[in-house]
Chains A and B, each alone.
Chain A
Amino acid sequence: MHAFRNILRTEARLYLRDLPTLLTTIGLPTVILVVLGLIPSLRKPDPTFDGQTFVSYFAPSLLVVTLAMVGVNILPAVLATYRERGVLRRLATTPAHPAALLAAQLVLALAGILASALLLIVVARLAFGVPLPRHPLGFTLAFILGTAALLSLGLLVAAVARTTKAAQALAVPLFLVTMFFGGVYLPRFLLPDFVARIGDYTPPGVQALLDAWTGTPPQPLHLGIMAVIAVAAGAGAAKLFRWE
């Protein structure tokens, strides 16, 4: 526990030292939100979105940005690099277990995701009148399960990829798919219906987030699938993870 705390503190310092990456991961969704919010027509209620504004409709997709960046991109890249460079192995020669380093990375990933989501929700509310999530319990649940599913996938990538390059080769397509089905590249109402429906079930489950944000309880099936992905990918990662 003692070792974990010190490792976490050190790793946090390393994150803070890489300011550009930190600002991008935490701030990018909010920056996109602000840019879109500056376009007046996107702030008008629109029947296409059941009378919501486009900005409200799109906000859950913006949550996907940080989730995807941190979960399937940064986390596996950092872990694969640490393994490739022998950082994990060296730690294994000390009384600290390399799992402490992995745990510290997970905590930092979560912290980044949380900070980014809070920033987005608060700015959306204050600047563009996007209501706070109307079904807070459902939203929290959808957010936790979606995050867990993506982080587990990230760990799975880190587990099966032997090198940093291999991790990137796996992470990049996964990232693009996550962003695409999350409706980041093309808002989901422009996607063919079946593509949008697929997106309901790909992590982090943007439909459940949208439902909960606008006040409908998320569908159990949507949440269930996220839980299944989280557990399956997490178990796979635990089984396959190599420290060297």
Chain B
Amino acid sequence: MPVIEVTHLKKRYGDLVAVDDVSLSVEAGEIFGVLGPNGAGKTTTVECVAGLRVPDGGGVSVLGLDPRRDAAQLRQRVGVQLQESQLPDRLRVAEALELYASFYRNPADPAELIDKLGLGEKRNTAYKKLSGGQKQRLSIALALVGNPEIAILDELTTGLDPQARRDTWGLIEQVRDSGVTIVLVTHFMEEAERLCDRVAVIDRGRVVALDSPAGLVSTVAPEQRIRFRPSAPVDDRLLTDLPEVSAVQRTGSQVVVTGTGELLHAVTSVLARHQIVAADLRLEQSTLDDAFVELTGHRPAN
């Protein structure tokens, strides 16, 4: 049963079409990634889901409800972290969380959340005096303080240092394990690969791919590459005759074989049959990065 269903969503700002045609559905309990280049329409899409923007066309249903009509109900059940949103300068960390907790019928314990997000020492620090990453963590905490069934996180870890990013990933996994469905907008492919069950790649207001990260890589950028130094001369034809192989190149004493499917198995078997040892063997597989470039023609921004 999908908890979020978006069908043919369309949203314009004046003449600019920000979201042209986006359809996707998010299943209960999954971490769903939304990827895409800057200005692709990711934020606009998730803000339509959060009920912050009114779509010009198409439908959005969240937990079986309409984000605009049933806003009051959904605000209790959906936590949102906005991409750009700050707090009053003088507001302190604990005050912010306690205030926001008080809005919900069934909130999380603010003190516990503060510790979980590593803000324990900053409990009484004013917002203005937090570092960028600490502000970001507070923002995540505010999205989770209502114990939501769905958390929509726009640019979860932008601005965090590598350690804080990893810690946050751990936290998000914990949150998911407690049964929360998570929609995650991100520019970090590593983050999407590590966290997301499925991702939608949006480009120029349209969904250009929707699959698991591994599925995306194998369909969009299935190319693999094997490098090795043969112990004896190898005839190219031996390799090019294999159906899995698409090309063979040589650089110095090194052989580089590109291909798809069970490439590694095919190559090593044929070498073994001819008693050739492959030294320094390395397999290079495409990553989500490559798939992203393939789909959008952009390098992921980070």
Q: Chain B interface residue count: which class? A: 20 to 34
Q: Which of A6-14, A169-177, A179-187, A223-231 contacts B (4 or more CB under 8 A)?
A: A6-14
Q: Is B38 an interface position by the 8 A CB rule?
A: no
Q: Which of B52, B76, B95 contacts A95 (CB under 8 A)?
A: B76
Q: Is B163 an interface position by the 8 A CB rule?
A: no
Query: Chain A nearest CB: distance from B64 CB in Å?
Result: 19
CB neighbours (8 Å) of A94 from chain B are 75, 100, 103-104, 146
Q: Which 4 A-B pairs have the closest CB atoms?
A: A86-B85, A93-B80, A85-B86, A90-B85
Q: How many A-B residue pairs have CB under 8 A?
A: 57
Nearest residue, chain A, Cβ from B95: A10
A6 contacts B102, CB within 8 Å?
Answer: yes
**Contact flags B58-80 to A (C-beta < 8 A → 1, else 0):** 00000000000000100110111
Nearest residue, chain B, Cβ from A100: B103
Give chain A interface residues in 15-74, CB to chain B under 8 Å. Answer: 17-18
Q: Is B84 an interface position by the 8 A CB rule?
A: yes
Count of chain A residues near B, Cβ 8 A:
21
Contact of A93 with B72 at beta-carbon distance under 8 Å, contacts A3-B102, A10-B95, A14-B91 already known: no
A90 contacts B82, CB within 8 Å?
Answer: yes
10 contacts between A and B (CB under 8 A): A2-B102, A14-B88, A17-B90, A85-B86, A87-B86, A93-B82, A94-B75, A95-B75, A95-B104, A95-B146
Q: How far is the CA of A244 from the CA of B44 in the complex (A)?
A: 14
Q: How far is the CA of A6 from the CA of B99 in the complex (A)?
A: 7
CB neighbours (8 Å) of A87 from chain B are 85-88
Give chain A interface residues in 153-204, CB to chain B under 8 Å. Answer: none
Q: Is B141 an interface position by the 8 A CB rule?
A: no
Q: How far is the CA of A86 from the CA of B99 in the complex (A)?
A: 17
A86 contacts B84, CB within 8 Å?
Answer: yes
Give chain B interface residues in 248-271, CB to chain A under 8 Å. Answer: none
CB neighbours (8 Å) of A92 from chain B are 52
B103 contacts A96, CB within 8 Å?
Answer: yes
Query: Chain B nearest CB: distance from A39 CB in Å?
Result: 39
Q: How far is the CA of A10 from the CA of B78 in the complex (A)?
A: 24
Q: How far is the CA of A201 from the CA of B50 in the complex (A)?
A: 46
CB neighbours (8 Å) of A85 from chain B are 85-87
Q: How far is the CA of A3 from the CA of B100 in the complex (A)?
A: 9
Query: Chain A nearest CB: distance from B144 CB in Å?
Result: 12
